[in-house]
Amino acid sequence: MRWQITNFKGIARAEFDISPGHATVITGVNSSGKSSTIQSLLLTAQSLYDDGPIVLNGPLVRLGDAEDLVREGAESNSIGIRLNLDPARSARGPSDPEAQVSYELVSSEDHSTLRARRVTIERTEFSSEPFVLARQNSRGSDVELALQATRHFGECDVLHVKSLLGDDRRQLRTYVAMQGLRPVVVVQLLSPEAVRTRYRKAFAAWIAEDERVAHPLDGLGTAPSIARDFARVLSDVIQRDEFSESGLQDAVRSRGLTPSRLRRAMRELDASQRDAILDIAADQRARSPWVCLPVKQLWSFRSMSDGVLEAQLEEILGDSYVALLLLSECLDDLSQRVQYLGPLRDEPRVVWNHWNELARGLPVGTRGEFSAAVLSRGDSALVSYRSPNGEPKMAPLSSAVNEWLAHLEIGDDVVARPRGKLGVGFDLQINGRTRDLTSVGVGVSQALPLLVGLLKSPQSSVFIVEQPELHLHPAVQARLADFLLRARPDMSVIVETHSEAFITRIRRRAAEGTLPLKDVDIAFVETSDSGSVARRLGLTEFGDLSEWPEGFLSSTEEDIREILRHNVERARGSLDV
């Protein structure tokens, strides 16, 4: 899955691969926008945790007002998000065509959130008409009616369907209700007469069907959707005492309702009674002059997608409805994958906080404050990882942490021990002596949350960390690169760093042939008059980079160059004497 953000804060454009097994290292000068690229992904993840609008200020990131997030000078006056929809990660399976979705987000009127102005879904395999949803030119009265139709789904925005995949015909009065980035339900608005006619025709045809071949589930207690829909509408009518046909009432109210029993009860009526009941049922359905087709099969709304009109709408939408389902599933998947550790880890302590109800996406807390608690309770299940020599292993969390701790050479063994009401403490073994974290260098307390957080994260996570090198010696920074790129090959890792040692170790592994070049990107974020851009620097098999932009790891080389120049000049001066 590829992730692209445009016109977000100071970023004009940034793109990176968040597929499992891929690593992205983000670097650049200060205030270039490196953190903004990460914040866009954190914003998306926290907005998908619950139903509702986009969450600007949540557990992963706090961004303030929406009007401050659109890049100043952006021609579109909107933020763009683009991601690939990977069918392989969908519960529907890899048979669905791969697609790409693009969002245009604008500030809400009160600046409290961002809203989708336009959503476009395109197939990536071949060119065809895209599936387009837009707020533009939507009739106000229809928007209000669509919101009324979707009120049971919670707070929503609605976008008008402008075109379907592979079909450029205009879709009249059809909308998709959105909760933030997530499509929730498709709404088709109809006239009461159209609802009445289509509904009556469908049920009259069902009653006349040959029950011996039409529905093989008859008698098994599982009614086809058309029978359930008819029974539900008739039940509403019966509750209002609009007709008193006892045989039909008994059939509808029966817990053992089967399609054959309902059809038989209708056929036992004379033609005038049957027509009257069909008219009453059609009139009842026409009181709601819309069709609601949920995008996500929510249990509480399951009956809404069982209706005959809903089935007809699903058929009309075709691949476009499949694309909405795939989008919903991929967004759910993304919300579960993102795991974050911030740049400012807690200072060394003797005792750390007890276990707390951790927010989603924070395996050890934003500052690593729950690392000790997670480690103290982490041995109840095994974790899957690779050892420093590349061997696949499954072991308790503490064993995995200690193996990599020894590789970093900042300790031999660490144990998390409860300290009663005070919290949980770390006991660190160094050269055979036990110490707490206040008795050793600050770097250990900065590295432990990285080890615990990465090794404890769920499978296929997107693990994001900023400035992992803080307070660590360059040699440890280099070994930390090995850890982040090797320990969990099932995960995507995004690292924001200023560490030359970190990047040099990556180049070394590429030259050694132990790091597949396709599995890592180095993104250099550079500023320009039109906004910052993340430039992808390719790695070669020799450990070289495809280009060396100005400002990329230049300070050390410049200093060495100046040292050599002055030494040469000094040597020449002594020779002249």
Query: In the predicted model, is pLDDT for residue 305 greater than 60?
Result: no
Pick the most confident of 353-357, 389-393, 549-553.
Answer: 389-393
More confident residue, 188 or 574: 188
More confident residue, 413 or 303: 413
Torsion 11-17-19-21 (CA) sign: negative
The answer to whether the CB of 29 falls within 8 A of the CB of 38 is no
Q: Is the pTM of this model over 0.95?
A: no
Tokens of 542: 């020799």
| Residue 300 pLDDT class (50, 70, 90 cuts) | very low
Mean pLDDT of the chain, nearest integer:
86
Other CB atoms within a 10 A radius of the CB of residue 571 amount to 10
Instruction: Out of 9-23, 164-178, 302-316, 326-340, pick the least confident.
Output: 302-316
Query: In the predicted model, is pLDDT for residue 304 greater than 60?
Result: no
Cβ density class 541-551: b for 16+ within 10 Å, e for less: eebebeeeeee
User: What three-state secondary structure class fits 320?
Assistant: helix
The answer to whether the CB of 163 falls within 8 A of the CB of 131 is yes
Comparing CA positions, the residue from 387, 363, 340, 338 lying closest to residue 486 is: 387
pLDDT score recorded for residue 346: 78
Go through the chain and tell me how many residues it has: 577
| Residue 572 pLDDT class (50, 70, 90 cuts) | confident
Chain segment 260-274, per-residue pLDDT in tens: 777 888 888 888 888
Chain segment 29-88, per-residue pLDDT in tens: 888 899 999 999 999 999 999 999 999 999 999 999 999 999 998 888 999 999 998 776
DSSP 163-230: EBTTB-S--TTEEEEEETTEEEEEEEE--HHHHHHHHHHHHHHHHHS-HHHH-TTTTTT---HHHHHH
| Residue 299 pLDDT class (50, 70, 90 cuts) | very low
Tokens of 520: 């890592």
Contacts of 387 (CB under 8 A, 6+ apart): 393, 403
* Residue 50 to residue 116: CA distance in whole angstroms: 17
More confident residue, 143 or 554: 143
Tokens of 437: 């974290």
Tokens of 377: 């309770």
* Residue 395 to residue 191: CA distance in whole angstroms: 63
Burial class (CB in 10 A: 0-12, 13-18, 19+), 136: exposed
pLDDT score recorded for residue 221: 37
* Residue 283 to residue 303: CA distance in whole angstroms: 19
Chain segment 456-513, per-residue pLDDT in tens: 999 999 999 999 999 899 999 999 999 999 999 999 999 999 999 999 999 999 999 9
**End-to-end CA, the chain:** 66
Tokens of 40: 């866009």
Strands annotated E in 369-447: 382-386, 392-396, 413-418, 424-430, 433-435
| Mean pLDDT within 109-128 | 90
Tokens of 467: 């400035």
pLDDT score recorded for residue 425: 78
Comparing CA positions, the residue from 416, 490, 426, 479 lying closest to residue 457 is: 490
pLDDT score recorded for residue 222: 38
pLDDT score recorded for residue 303: 42
Residue type at 475? A
pLDDT score recorded for residue 369: 85
Other CB atoms within a 10 A radius of the CB of residue 159 amount to 24
Secondary structure letter of residue 549 according to DSSP: -
Query: In the predicted model, is pLDDT for residue 418 greater than 80?
Result: no
pLDDT score recorded for residue 245: 57
pLDDT score recorded for residue 379: 74
pLDDT score recorded for residue 223: 46
* Residue 417 to residue 401: CA distance in whole angstroms: 15
**pLDDT-above-70 percentage for the chain:** 86
Query: In the predicted model, is pLDDT for residue 211 greater than 70?
Result: no
| Residue 225 pLDDT class (50, 70, 90 cuts) | low
Comparing CA positions, the residue from 278, 128, 125 lying closest to residue 196 is: 278
Tokens of 132: 């387009």
Comparing CA positions, the residue from 436, 501, 488, 446 lying closest to residue 471 is: 446
| Residue 224 pLDDT class (50, 70, 90 cuts) | low
Torsion 528-534-540-542 (CA) sign: positive
Query: In the predicted model, is pLDDT for residue 387 greater than 60?
Result: yes
Given its phi and psi angles, is residue 152 left (phi above 0), alpha (psi -120 to 50 degrees) or beta? Answer: alpha
Strands annotated E in 32-78: none
The answer to whether the CB of 398 falls within 8 A of the CB of 415 is yes
**pLDDT-above-90 percentage for the chain:** 54
Query: In the predicted model, is pLDDT for residue 370 greater than 50?
Result: yes
What is the gyration radius of the CA atoms in the chain, in angstroms? 30
Query: In the predicted model, is pLDDT for residue 138 greater than 90?
Result: no
Strands annotated E in 333-387: 338-341, 382-386
| In the block, residue with structure tokens 């309902």 | 262
Comparing CA positions, the residue from 188, 133, 208 lying closest to residue 163 is: 133
Tokens of 500: 């030359």
Other CB atoms within a 10 A radius of the CB of residue 567 amount to 10
| Residue 220 pLDDT class (50, 70, 90 cuts) | very low
Comparing CA positions, the residue from 281, 282, 280, 252 lying closest to residue 264 is: 252
Which helix (H) or strand (E) covers residue 92, if one does? Answer: none
Query: In the predicted model, is pLDDT for residue 91 greater than 70?
Result: no
Which helix (H) or strand (E) covers residue 157, if one does? Answer: strand 157-163
